[in-house]
Homo-oligomer: A and B are copies of this chain.
């Protein structure tokens, strides 16, 4: 826990108020010679603009000046963690597992898997097994789980959980397992799958013991795949354990709910101690589910992915369309909020400017609405208004404190 976070933990107090964080993934955009207006400037967003008129605007710097975050670090910062600290380095296996809603305990090892195709010589011909349907994936995973139940590998409990398409997750449980194993995915075809081996070399007995126990289990899984025409091999990546992140309930004294349509964001939220609420991918789905579960949480995190996808595609029209869809859905969310008590923040985890077709380091617009906000002169939710707003520009990982404060959930510091 860093200094800033431990200060928040000292001051956090319960209150009868709610915080809603609406993340429009990659919302920040650029004005360039070719694109003279940003997506937020092009979009017709009367509800957002009216809200901006009675809110405070500002900007957040995702990680640090010039640093372009991935989605994991971007969200960890929004959740109040310093993503550049080693303990915030969440492995991809555990992220995927948490995203699927699996309960991962300290000591468990989670691994991402791909079903793949190999030829008679043992060389990979398709690293995604011809992209099976999710339903097909579920069938194969059930078959694998049955094979493990029949043979029960010694000293290790292996759980196989289907993901989407060719993806699945293995959760390994047992005494003294180590996540320090290298990927078995060779990342190309024409070669065989790689053997289980230590990530960084060395003779750590826990690593050797993990390999010794996992190898027979993998052999069982492979035997259960021999009859499959395409998914006759499996590739493993991102062996990882549960990160030692301090949990929200203890840190901030809030019970958080995560409303996200995509596994990665669910995973990051779960790693911080939020409860993942399964819901659809569209903004209206998130709002409907959040409305339904309103009484269950102090803090509701809603994640809209499509702004980022449109930015990555370099598709200004698509990004504008998503923003206008959010704008249309906003009144339903605002109706739930108690204007005398609750706090709504709208921002992104990073910018994904259409002209760059990629995540970027540029500061992200932020809107905070609540009874204790300064009503500044801004009248639209755009980069330009946000630059001039009362909240100024500050590191994303300080947003958590600002929201707790606005919700009356931080005590005074010192006498």
A interface residue numbers (CB < 8 A to B): 3-4, 7-8, 11, 30-33, 36, 54, 59, 63-73, 83-84, 89, 92, 353, 355-356, 358-363, 371-377, 383-384, 387-390, 392-395, 398-406, 410-415
Contact = CB atoms under 8 A, between A and B. Distances in A.
Copies of this chain held together in the complex: 2
Contacts of A410: 66-68, 361
A64 to B, nearest CB: 6
Contacts of A405: 66-68, 360-361
11 contacts: A65-B402, A66-B400, A66-B410, A68-B405, A69-B413, A83-B413, A361-B410, A376-B387, A387-B389, A387-B390, A388-B388
A242 to B, nearest CB: 17
A375 B33 contact: yes
A415 B66 CA distance: 17
Contacts of A360: 372, 405
A339 to B, nearest CB: 9
Contact of A376 (B89, B384, B395): B384
Contacts of A388: 387-388
B413 A67 contact: yes
B67 A11 contact: yes
Nearest to A72: B414
Nearest to A353: B372
B392 A363 contact: yes
A374 B398 CA distance: 24
Contacts of A363: 390, 392
Top 6 nearest A-B pairs (CB, nearest first) are A66-B401, A65-B398, A70-B414, A66-B405, A73-B414, A66-B402
Contact of A361 (B31, B376, B393, B402): B402
B384 A70 contact: no
A24 B196 CA distance: 57
Given A31-B375, A70-B413, A414-B70, A65 B362 contact: no
